[in-house]
C-alpha cells in the first residue's frame, strides 16, 4: 500500500485506510443480501451464542444483536472494528466484550459457541494452507459439543465462463464509486487481478481514489499477493473432515439444499461432537 503522496505504508492487517473507510459505502444497502436470513436462521435453530468470523464493520453482527441474538464478532482489522463500534453506538447497541481483534489461525476467545459462521468468503482470505488448517482446528476448539461451523466458499473467482490466462494481470477496471456522506467527496475503487491456476490463488491490486470536483486529491494502493485462495468442494469437505468435524456436508449458495458437484458457490458445514 502507498499513502496519498505515494509513500509506502506497511500494516500487518489488510483492511485499513480508504479500504476500511469505504467498505460500507461502496457496497451500498445490505438489506436485501440473501445471506442475511440464511445465517440468522442457523443461529436461531442452534440457539445459544454465535461467533461472526470476519465481522468487519458489523454487516451481520449488528443486525443480529438488534434482533436480540447473542453474537460476538472477531476480525483482524482494528480499523474495521472501530467502524463497527461507531455504528453500534449510533444504533444504541452495546458491543463491549463482544468484539475481538484476532487472526483466524490464532483464535483464543473466552467462551464456546453453538454456532461459528464464516460468511463473505472470509475463510478464503487464508492463502496459506497451514494457516487454513490451524484456523479450522481453532474454530472446532471454540465450539460447544453439538455446535456447528458453517463457512462460505466460492470455486471460481473470475467473472465469465472463460478462465483467464495463467498469472497475467487483467486491465485495471473501476469496481465501484460513491459520494462520501458529510463532505460529498467521491471515493472510487479500481482493481486488477491475476490468477495462479496451479496453486489456486488470486493476486489482486486495488487503487482507491478520493476525488473533489472530479479531481483526484488522494490515492492509496493496496496489494494482496496472493490475496484469495479458492477451493473445490472436495477440497473444502476434506479439510473439515481432517480438522475433526463430523456430519460434514455442503449446501448450495444461501440455501439449505444440498450442493451439486457443479455448484460454484456453496457453504460447508461441520459439527463438533
3-state secondary structure of 153: strand
pLDDT at residue 6, rounded to an integer:
36
* Ramachandran bin of 121, using left for φ above 0, alpha for ψ from -120 to 50, beta for the remaining angles: left
Q: What is the pLDDT of residue 2?
A: 40
β-pair type (143-154, 265-271): antiparallel
88: nearest Cα among 118, 60, 121: 60
Cell numbers given for 118: 464464516
- Please state whether the peptide bond connecting residue 217 to the residue before it is cis, i.e. omega within 30 degrees of 0: no
DSSP per residue over 159-176, as a string? Answer: SSSSPPPBT-PPPPEEEE
- pLDDT recorded at residue 198: 98
pLDDT for 9 equals 38
- Residue 222 pLDDT: 96
Q: Per residue in 21-77, pLDDT tens? A: 999 999 988 888 999 999 999 999 999 999 999 999 999 999 999 999 999 999 999
**d(Cα 188, Cα 182) in Å, to the nearest integer?**
16
How far apart, in Å, are the Cα atoms of 128 and each of 113, 134, 171, 201? 26, 10, 26, 10
pLDDT for 13: 76
Residue 136: what pLDDT? 98
Residues 192, 41: contact at Cβ < 8 Å?
A: no
- Strands of the chain (E only): list them: 50-53, 71-75, 99-101, 113-118, 143-154, 173-179, 186-196, 201-212, 215-229, 246-252, 265-271
pLDDT at residue 31 in the model: 86
User: What confidence score (pLDDT) does residue 4 get?
Assistant: 38
Low-confidence ranges of the chain (pLDDT < 70): 1-12
Amino acid at each position: 500500500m502507498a499513502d496519498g503522496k505515494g509513500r509506502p505504508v506497511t500494516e500487518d492487517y489488510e483492511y485499513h485506510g480508504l479500504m476500511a473507510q469505504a467498505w460500507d459505502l461502496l457496497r451500498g444497502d445490505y438489506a436485501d443480501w440473501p445471506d442475511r436470513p440464511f445465517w440468522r436462521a442457523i443461529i436461531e435453530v442452534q440457539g445459544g451464542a454465535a461467533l461472526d468470523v470476519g465481522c468487519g464493520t458489523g454487516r451481520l453482527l449488528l443486525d443480529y444483536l438488534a434482533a436480540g441474538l447473542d453474537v460476538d464478532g472477531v476480525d483482524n482489522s482494528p480499523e474495521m472494528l472501530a467502524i463497527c463500534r461507531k455504528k453500534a453506538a449510533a444504533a444504541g447497541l452495546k458491543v463491549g466484550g463482544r468484539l475481538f481483534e484476532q487472526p483466524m489461525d490464532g483464535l483464543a476467545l473466552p467462551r464456546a459457541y453453538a454456532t461459528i459462521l464464516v460468511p463473505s468468503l472470509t475463510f478464503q482470505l487464508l492463502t496459506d494452507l497451514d494457516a487454513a488448517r490451524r484456523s479450522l482446528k481453532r474454530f472446532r476448539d471454540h465450539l460447544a459439543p453439538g455446535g456447528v461451523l458453517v463457512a462460505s466458499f466460492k470455486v471460481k473467482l473470475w467473472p465469465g465462463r472463460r478462465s483467464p490466462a495463467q498469472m497475467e494481470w487483467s486491465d485495471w477496471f473501476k469496481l465501484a464509486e460513491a459520494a462520501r456522506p458529510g463532505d460529498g467527496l467521491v471515493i472510487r475503487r479500481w482493481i486488477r487481478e491475476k490468477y495462479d491456476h496451479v496453486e489456486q490463488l488470486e493476486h489482486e491490486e486495488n487503487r482507491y481514489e478520493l476525488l473533489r470536483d472530479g479531481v483526484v486529491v488522494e490515492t492509496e494502493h493496496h496489494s494482496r499477493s496472493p490475496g484469495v485462495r479458492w477451493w473445490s468442494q472436495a477440497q473444502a469437505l476434506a479439510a473439515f473432515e481432517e480438522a475433526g468435524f463430523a456430519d460434514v456436508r455442503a449446501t448450495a449458495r444461501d440455501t439449505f439444499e444440498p450442493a451439486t458437484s457443479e455448484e460454484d458457490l456453496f457453504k460447508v458445514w461441520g459439527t463438533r461432537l
